[in-house]
Amino acid sequence: MPKKMARKFIFLILFFCIFCFALTPVAKQQEERARDIILLEIKGIITRGQAAFVKRQLSAIDTDLVQAVIIEIDTPGGLVEATLDLTKYFNTAPVPIIVYVHPAGAIAASAGAFLLISADIAAMAPGTTVGAAMPVTLSADGAAEKADEKTINFLAGHMKSIARQKGRPSDLAERFVKENLTLDAFEAQEGGVSDLVVENTALLLEKINGFEGEKNGNPFVLKTTGASILKKDMIPRERFQDKISDPQIAYLLLIAGALGLYFGLGMPGTFIPEVLGAIFLLLGIYGMGLFDTNTTGIIFIVLGFGLLVTEIFTAGFGILGIGGGVSLLIGSILLPSEPLMAPDWYSRFLATALGVALGFLVLSFLIVTMLIRSRRIWKNRKTFFDPASKAFVMEELSPYGTVKMRGELWKAFSHDGSTIPQGSEVEIMKQEGLTLVVRKSSIQKNNSEKSPDRE
């Protein structure tokens, strides 16, 4: 080989080696880059809103980008339905679930014990506690009472089943439910309920680096060194569900709804107590877990359209319209997207429903504002309560109905409870709120007295 060609050949080999050497760190860095870890928080009472939050986050995971989910909990318990939903979501998640009772002083009581047992990796901070999972029910006066034996035995058996699946002691899991057993962080670790006791999230990531396990039949190895922690928060719909699903708030909503309907039906005329009572009652029923989210959303949407139609055909003075708009808003919030429904369709439906609800709310608010202004004007006029003020019955008073005065429709009732037929002329006696107290016109009364029936 000529000397000149040999030098060229050696130069090409050196260039190729330098090029490969330069690419090696990049390839190595890409290979060793740890996938992200998602951080979720469950604090306070476990509700449907929190279950919906966790479900949304787990269903959106891309396993090429995310390797695990850490769920920090500090809870005294919560709704059974939401808790069982969360255990199912943990079990079917595409990546390992790490439940961490944190910070120091936090508890995983009642429903929280179910979540810790259901984890692929269970960790607790020093000074935390787990257990006391015996179910309770609310009595008629709002006090907590021990649940019936059937419920206790079922939940004890269910927790045992979860513990066996996760390789945790089933006897302790059963005692959590049947005996209200409580363990601190170190006792839980010694008993096999918890895997780790660590002070903070950084130490937790250090401890579980290299952890090997199996998820849904697929082996995994956690590589947490250098992994990014992505904290996720609730969206407004989930926060709304979280608040109204709180048992205390749900109970207050039930009481307020019942009282609203009672006073509204006992003293009809303004529509405010009836509309608020119906909305509060439905929210309370949903919060107590008697209706699922889909059913409640549909009921609110139907109620909203019903109130809007009623407002159009009756003299609701804008109250029914406002109630209808609020009901549509709540129904739109509670109606979740279905997996088989196209996302763009749901977005268009939600935008339409919210637009209609807001439109009717603004229109009804303007109507109420004009009525209040009109009421103040009439109240300042001395002639308003003059017995000479006349009105005509548009809807029979028996004793409640509708009259037309000076081109305006008013709710009215006869002062003595008598029936006044449609088309009769009446005199205004006084005003009570947005309702007029009337009596039959003296002219018509005199005419009827002067014209007795003949045999």
Q: State the greatest distance between any 2 C-alpha atoms of the chain, in Å, as a whole number.
A: 146
**Residue 121 within a domain:** yes
What is d(CA 175, CA 191) in angstroms, rounded to the nearest whole number?
12
Same domain, 325 and 258: yes
Tell me, yes or no, whether 315 and 244 share the same domain: yes
Question: Both 352 and 428 in a single domain?
Answer: no
> How far, in Å, CA of 426 to CA of 340, rounded?
60
72 and 205 part of one domain: yes
418: domain CATH number is: 2.40.50.140
Does 231 reside within a domain?
A: yes
The string of pLDDT tens digits covering residues 250-301 is: 888 888 888 888 777 766 556 778 888 888 888 888 887 767 777 777 788 7
CA separation (Å) from 10 to 4, 6, 7, 17, 46?
Answer: 10, 6, 5, 11, 70
Beta-strand relationship, 212-215 and 218-221: antiparallel
What range defines the domain where residue 254 resides? 237-358
Residue 367 lies in a domain: no
Residues 206 and 257 in one domain: no
What DSSP state is assigned to residue 225? T
- Averaged over successive runs of 10 residues, the pLDDT of the chain (455 residues) comes to 55 57 46 82 92 93 94 92 93 96 95 95 96 77 72 93 94 94 96 95 94 90 93 89 85 86 70 83 81 76 77 64 78 61 53 65 66 57 56 88 83 87 87 81 58 44
Quick one: pLDDT at residue 407? 74
The CA-atom distances, in angstroms, between 65 and each of 3, 61, 209, 229 are 53, 8, 17, 12
Q: Which helix (H) or strand (E) holds 227?
A: none
Sign of CA dihedral 47, 52, 53, 55: positive
Q: Is 125 in the same domain as 196?
A: yes
Residue 8 lies in a domain: no
| Digit-coded pLDDT (tens) for 138-191 | 555 555 678 889 989 999 999 999 999 999 999 999 999 999 999 999 999 999
- DSSP of 125-194: -TT-EEE----EEE-TTS-EEEPPHHHHHHHHHHHHHHHHHHT--HHHHHHHHHS--EEEHHHHHHHTS-
| Whether 108 and 227 share a structural domain | yes
Residues 269 and 414 in one domain: no
Whole-angstrom distance, CA of residue 102 vs CA of residue 122 = 11
- Structural domain contains residue 150: yes
Are 51 and 165 members of one domain?
Answer: yes
Tally of domains in the chain: 3
Q: Determine how β-strand 121-124 pairs with β-strand 196-197.
A: parallel
Asked if residue 369 is part of any domain, the answer here is no
Alpha-carbon torsion angle 307, 309, 311, 315, nearest 10: -130
Which H or E run includes 439?
strand 435-440
Residue 3 lies in a domain: no
Q: Tokens for 225?
A: 């060194």
In this structure, the answer to whether residues 300 and 226 fall within a common structural domain is no
Are 62 and 172 in the same domain?
Answer: yes
Q: What is the pLDDT of residue 451?
A: 47
Statement to judge: residues 262 and 325 lie in one domain: yes
